[in-house]
Amino acid sequence: MMESPRSDRDRISNLPDPLVHHILSFLEMKELVNLSLTSKQLREFCISTPFLTLNGLLCEDRRYLLLNSVDRLLAFRKGMKTERISILWPFAAANANEKFRVLMWLCNAIACKVQLIDLQIILHGEDVFSLPAPVFLSESLKELKVNLQGGRLDKFPLSGGFCNLKSLSLIDLQISNEGFGGWISSFCKHLEKLLLENFDGGKNIIINSPTLKSLTIKPYFSSNLCNISISAEKLNDFILDWKFHFSKGKSLKIIAPNLDYLMWDGHLVEFNCLENFKHLERTVIRQTQYPSLYRLDSSINQNLSRLLHSICTCRALILTAECIKVSFKQGCLPSLFHRLSCLYLYTDNLNDDLVPAVACFLKGTPNLKTLHIKKDNFCLSSLTQSESYDAFTVRYWESQKLDFVHQLEEATVELFNRGDNELELIKYLLKHARALKKMTILYLSLLPLEFNTEFDDYRKTSTAEIVFDRVPEDDA
């Protein structure tokens, strides 16, 4: 007997309640209202969902209807637990009553033991956004995200708050607290993750936290930030993207004995690390162009030396060629990276100015097993595109007596321009890297005419798999 078509219409109601609520979590308020009209059981699910997504980017009339819908939903919920509330609202276009009602939704969520608040508020001009007091006093709140799209966030209360908060993200905003870092250190006793992106919080960020595990700091390019001081015993990963017009008076001090991952993208500043990162596994250093990097300055020398010394225990390292070149010019190489097994070197070319710097760096990597030299599509290098007519030959590389070549198992080399220096390095690796299992050669369009002729004899001496891979022009 065939089943009635009507029997398949409400399959969702037969699912377990948590699964239904998870599905409903992807719906915005308007969609939730429409779904609630389809059946009595679905209406109950929509009312009881612990995930609320409220998007007010509508014309004024529709926004007024949404306000009423949300107020009715909260009235029906009668204090049901709220796990997450996400609000995107244009305060720049809202009147005082509308702003008040939105803030009351936050207070309602706090009363309903909300665990995650995600706010995106669009302000007008010099307006300042203030978080309601109950947000600071909440004992259930575990994660808070605030994005003001360039607006200003009001001062945090001197009485403290966020007693159980574990994750705080402040994005695209300015904050009125000059002592913001001190406030976080004093009151956020359980904070494990802190994200400050497109952030302006004054001249100093000073954080002393025994619980912090993940920290990301990406100040505005035009921010007034001068000093960053971090002391965090449990910090596992630290991402810093700090670029500016002038380096004078800027400093970074960090105490993080258990750091596992470090990424530093930006300009060099006065650097102090009281002890090496003994547990460091992965490091990304992308030093972008800055005029002072090219002056023979003793302070630059000291800071580069400190930086290289502090990361010397890492196992995987990503470096821009600019950093290696400047380190070489300042006399900071070779630094010993005894534990380093994987190196990515990103550059726009392997010209005659860079080859000695790369060779000098590789002298300090006796246990290197993986080497990649290629273009970084996300980092613009300032190195000049000079031609290499008298290439650094295989004999040059042999004269460097590089210990790593006996351990090397995998290599990738991209051919830039004419590819003379790159070809000589490839030939050297094929001849001497007896443990080499795979060699990948990247090229943009056509291989140089003389490439196959020069390459064939060395290819026969190696047992490694050799792969030619053409780089798409969009990635070049």
Report the greatest alpha carbon distance in the chain. Answer: 89
Please report whether residue 102 resides in a domain: yes
Q: What is the amino acid identity at position 438?
A: K
Q: Which residues contact 22 (CB under 8 A, 6 or more apart)?
A: none
Q: What is the mean pLDDT of residues 443-471?
A: 78
d(CA 207, CA 321): 32
- How would you class 59 by CB atoms within 10 Å of its CB: exposed for 0-12, middle for 13-18, buried for 19 or more? exposed
Do the domain assignments include residue 402?
no
Per-residue pLDDT band for 450 (boundaries 50, 70, 90) equals: low
Predicted local confidence at residue 432, as pLDDT: 94
Give kind and range of the element (H or E) at residue 429.
Answer: helix 420-432
Domain that holds residue 52: 15-122
For residue 52, is it within any domain? yes
Cα distance between residue 77 and residue 113, in whole Å? 13
Within a domain: 73: yes
Point out which residues pair with 442 in neighbouring strands: 414, 469
Give the chain's domain count.
1
User: What count of other Cβ atoms lies within 10 Å of the Cβ of residue 139?
Assistant: 10
pLDDT-derived band at 193 (thresholds 50, 70, 90) equals very high
Q: What is the mean pLDDT of residues 368-395?
A: 68
Residue 419 buriedness (CB in 10 A; 0-12 / 13-18 / 19+):
buried
Residue 333 confidence class, pLDDT cut points 50, 70, 90: confident
pLDDT at residue 222, rounded to an integer: 74
Mean pLDDT of the 328-347 span: 87
Asked if residue 278 belongs to a domain, the reply is no
Task: Give the model's pLDDT for residue 449.
Answer: 62
DSSP 314: -
pLDDT digits 0-9 by tens, 143-179: 999 999 999 999 898 888 899 999 999 999 999 777 8
- Whole-number pLDDT of residue 45: 79
Tell me, yes or no, whether 314 lies in a domain.
Answer: no
Residue 217: which of 262, 183, 277 has the closest Cα?
262
Say yes or no to pLDDT of 379 above 60: no
Residue with token string 């002072």: 292
> Among 37-51, 88-102, 154-168, 259-273, which is the least confidently predicted range?
37-51
Kindly state whether residue 403 falls inside one of the protein's structural domains: no
> Residues 6 or more apart from 417 whose CB is under 8 A from it?
349, 385, 387, 388
pLDDT digits 0-9 by tens, 398-413: 999 999 999 999 999 9
> Cis (ω within 30 of 0) for the bond into 210?
no
61 within domain boundaries = yes
